[in-house]
Amino acid sequence: MGKFGRCFMDDFMRFIIKRLGITAVLLVIISMIIFWICQLMPGDAVDMMLGGIALQSLGETTVEDLRKELGLNLPVYQQYFKWASGVIHGDLGTSYIMKAPIAPLVISRLKTSLLLAVPASLMMIVCGLALGIISAVKEKTWIDNSISFVSLSMLSVPAFLTGSLFIYIFSVKLNWIPPAFNAINMEGIGFFQMMGSYFGILIFPSLTLGFESIAYVNRQTRASMIEELKTNYVRTAVLKGVPPRSVVMRHALRNGLLPAITVIAFNVGQIIAGTVIIEAVFSYPGIGALMVDAIKFRDVPLILATMLIISASYVFANLFADILYTQLNPRIKYA
Amino acid sequence: MVKNNSAQTVIKKIISGLLKKNITPNLIIGGILLFGFVFIGIFAPHVTPHDADEMHYEHLKETPSTTFLLGTDRYGRDILSRVIVGTRTTLLMALTSTLLALFLGVIVGTTSSFYGGVVDIVLMRINDIFMSFPTLIFAMLVIGVLGPSMTNGIIAIGIIYAPRVTRVVRAQALNIVHLEYIDAAKVRGEFSLYIIFREMLPNLWPTIIVEGSIRLGYAILLTASLGYIGLGPPPPTPDWGLMAYSERGYMFETPWPVFAPCIAIVIAVIGVNLFGEGLKDILLAKGSRTKEAKV
């Protein structure tokens, strides 16, 4: 490795470390905000666990003991440190409603959600980029116009309408998929069986989840590709007889991809957050549904855990995009 | 290069744009849809064919007929009437929360760009932190704490969209904050508040209005989504998202209770988006944005 290479690695490592540091600080602040907002909730854990009638019959001393046992008599910052050190050690606390440790529950729910989110993200990247490239190459033809029209209307449609339409067509009319997904048992199923059932049923919620993001990626790719296709270097490549496919895929796409990457990363975060709606539509037992339940039952430790996980994945998606962006764009100096 | 765009001038600009036939089909169609919905929302109880909450027990889960134009739901309530009354809650929530977001965003954005330095850095870092929450998730958290109701929904959506408005307003304000007339006002010894509101704000109106129309579209979708997961107004209220959710179990019998409110949402969002595009064409004439960015 020459001098240049070493320099580059140093810069790159410094950049990564700095980015990771910023992300860590951001996560701590986010967790503080979430924790603090949850403290504003009227009533505390003991009220929620016991309910009004039990509170009266138990008397003040027992209730106070229980508060002490749960650490609710401590000041807020001490409660936060207690919770945060638990989180760092992988202990997300105990759910008030389910009376069970949260970490295993959240992890299994996260797995079922990723079964939707990962394919949805892949679909977004492949379909979004492909449609964007096609409409940029065929700019101002009927193909481009119809793709643009469809993607614009995709942005005006709420995700639950797409989901309800899928359920109506494929469940009510064609009877291909169950109307509610909470009855499907995913545990103990082999990989191939899982893939089989995936393509049979889970493809619909995934597609719904990725729908809006496909439109965003498509629009950004189209815009940046149209710009790239007008540049001098593309014209040079065309004039010197490079095959058109190669001009688009090897010359223009490399630069046109950069703005799309930011949009893709942003939308990976949106997809993770979007599971909340999709899981409500399909009655799918994922982390989004768990969060909605936690909020409805005012189960503070569960709200904290699910919020933290969803926000963290959102932050990590953006971190990943940042790193990828600087890696792919040599013009950016590591600042 | 920067014209004096006070609030009256903006209105004059819109009117003269309309007179000069500077209107795109987008603006007309969007305007008709948007103001149609506003009109329906205002006069909702008077234009419904039936009472929105009245239960017709002999007509449960019916498909559209001449009496019930969009059919009835599982309690025998007229869906068309409920969609019409639902316009009220959704539009009121979306409009008010957009205004709240604009209000907060404009204040923070202008302050941040005017003072610059440490103030700018601190405010923008706080802004970044709030932007690193997904919108729906943050709104859910706020509503979860305050309890589901219309007011709390408005507060939640307003707070979560404010940082996004701030970003746009600040970017535009940074273009004008270094201009001579701002310096002149400083030299004259005007108060900061005067400079921000009387000198800077008038030149920001076009940006703010266009950003507001974009936010309104998102706010309608977010309002509907919150209603759908049961964090909007409580059940008897005819809310579009809530209607679609609570009737989804009866799709085997009739799909109308689910799709009618959804279609209303789509039409409203398309209307707002088209109207926003039309306003953009009038207010931010082509190239004016890039031209101002170079100032």
Angstrom distances, CA of residue B256 to CA of A315, A329, B98, B270: 39, 50, 30, 21
Q: What are phi and psi of A94, to 5 degrees?
A: -120, 135
Give dist(CA A7, CA B241) in Å, integer: 56
Count Cβ neighbours within 10 Å for each residue of B232-247 and write b for 16 or more, e otherwise. Answer: bbeeebbbbbbbbbbb
The pair of structure tokens assigned to B13 is 């600009």
Coil/strand/helix, residue A94: strand
CB atoms within 10 A of CB A169: 14
Per-residue pLDDT of B17-39, as tens digits, reads 666 656 777 888 888 888 888 88
Beta carbons of B132 and A311 less than 8 angstroms apart:
yes
Provide the residue type at A141 as one letter. T
Among B63, B228, B272, the residue to mutate for chain A (most A Cβ within 10 A): B228
- CB pair distance less than 8 Å for B251 and A307: no
Given a cut of 80, whether residue A58 has pLDDT beyond it is no
Give dist(CA A327, CA A323) in Å, integer: 6
Q: Which residues does chain B have within 8 Å of residue A172's beta carbon, measured at their own beta carbons?
A: 251-252, 255
Q: Using 50, 70 and 90 to split pLDDT, how confident is the model at B295?
A: very low
CA dihedral defined by A32, A36, A37, A43, rounded to 10 degrees?
A: 150
Interface of A with B (CB under 8 A): 26, 29-30, 33-34, 37-38, 40-41, 152-153, 155-161, 164-165, 167-168, 172, 179, 269-270, 272-274, 276-277, 280-281, 291-292, 295-296, 298, 303, 307, 310-311, 314-315, 318
User: Span A127-145, mean pLDDT?
Assistant: 88
Count Cβ neighbours within 10 Å for each residue of A46-79 and write b for 16 or more, e otherwise. Answer: beeebeeeeeeeeeeeebeeebeebeeeeeeeeb
Count Cβ neighbours within 10 Å for each residue of A295-323 and write b for 16 or more, e otherwise. Answer: beebbbbbbbbbbbbbbbbbbbbbbebbb
Beta carbons of A224 and A294 less than 8 angstroms apart:
no
- CB pair distance less than 8 Å for B134 and A269: yes
Given a cut of 50, whether residue B156 has pLDDT beyond it is yes
Q: Using 50, 70 and 90 to split pLDDT, how confident is the model at B104?
A: very high
pLDDT in the model for residue A280: 87
Per-residue pLDDT of A244-275, as tens digits, reads 888 888 888 888 888 888 888 888 888 888 88
Give dist(CA A330, CA B6) in Å, integer: 44
The pair of structure tokens assigned to B172 is 């535009």
Give dist(CA A270, CA A268) in Å, integer: 5
